[in-house]
Amino acid sequence: MAVLVVADHDNARLSDATARTVTAAAAIGAPVHILVAGKDCAAVAAAAATIAGVEKILLADDAQYARQLAECMEALILSVADKYDAILAPAASNGKNYLPRVAAKLDVAQISEIIKVVAPDTFERPIYAGNAIQTVKAPAGAKKVITVRGSAFKPAAQGAKVGIEKIAAAADPGLSTFASEALSHSDRPELTSAKIVISGGRGLGSAENFHLLDKIADHLHAAIGASRAAVDAGYVPNDFQVGQTGKNVAPDLYLAVGISGAIQHLAGMKDSRIIAAINKDEEAPIFQVADVGLVADLFTALPELEAELAKRGH
């Protein structure tokens, strides 16, 4: 069963989610190929070529793929789709944008955000904000179009470099054009790939108090996240949000500060290896999933934690 993985990247760097999607693809079948579509993205293709378990890289380098617009990506993927039994992409912004169009044109139902491959045609995916797991079986003989929740899979290891095959761009449908984008810039690790994440909730009380997390994040080389309540209150921009309607993270350590633990937030971070929480309410739901919990006033606990980290030379 041939499987195609569509790479997630920014034309310069390959996202960690791509290697995680390859792990899912390898559990479905072989050979596994990666499609890299972008502009001046040879470095991305070279990085993809070192992922273990991949047989070949398809490189479509053309100006129309610079922003991976849904209509252009759909046409490209469909131009090679007949060679594959399954087409996968990370459940990130780009994959969620173009893959539903591909599924519609192939007249199949997309299988979204899988967290486990049970069999080549059977998958598990979370529903009801992660409170239930649904098992989905694809119809026999149908082409499978799947988005993969990367936090549920380990990234594929590095392997011997495989060949890169350049393919022609598909005809530009001319249905959309890129207008502009507003990006946030940070010296901290990217939230979805960070090894340590410290997130703040409404308990911090204000945007000014949210900065109490900064020094701790600096000591730990951590990314900073937030609950939806903190985002809705205007403490931080919405690209900080972790949860069902935000970003999914699975760091080695997730520290939740002043976060009650609503199910919508837990859905985005429950796959973390270790979950630690600071909350003054000992009945807060976050303690039900935390490996380490501290019942304390965060305005006392955070300065103490920062001082201890500084003392230890972190």
**Phi/psi zone of residue 157: left (φ > 0), alpha (ψ -120 to 50 degrees), beta?**
beta
Q: What is the pLDDT along the chain (314 residues), one digit of tens a residue?
A: 899 999 999 999 999 999 999 999 999 999 999 999 999 999 999 999 999 999 999 999 999 999 999 999 999 999 999 999 999 999 988 999 999 999 999 999 999 999 999 999 999 998 887 778 999 999 988 999 999 998 889 999 998 899 999 999 999 998 888 888 776 666 788 888 899 999 999 999 999 999 999 999 999 999 999 999 999 999 999 999 999 888 889 899 999 999 999 988 998 898 899 999 999 999 999 999 999 999 999 999 999 999 999 988 76
- The confidence score (pLDDT) of residue 183 equals 64
pTM of the model: 0.81
- The confidence score (pLDDT) of residue 130 equals 75
> What are the chain's domains?
3-166 (3.40.50.620), 191-311 (3.40.50.1220)
- The confidence score (pLDDT) of residue 117 equals 97
- The confidence score (pLDDT) of residue 45 equals 97
- The confidence score (pLDDT) of residue 184 equals 64
- The confidence score (pLDDT) of residue 192 equals 85
- The confidence score (pLDDT) of residue 128 equals 82
- The confidence score (pLDDT) of residue 314 equals 60
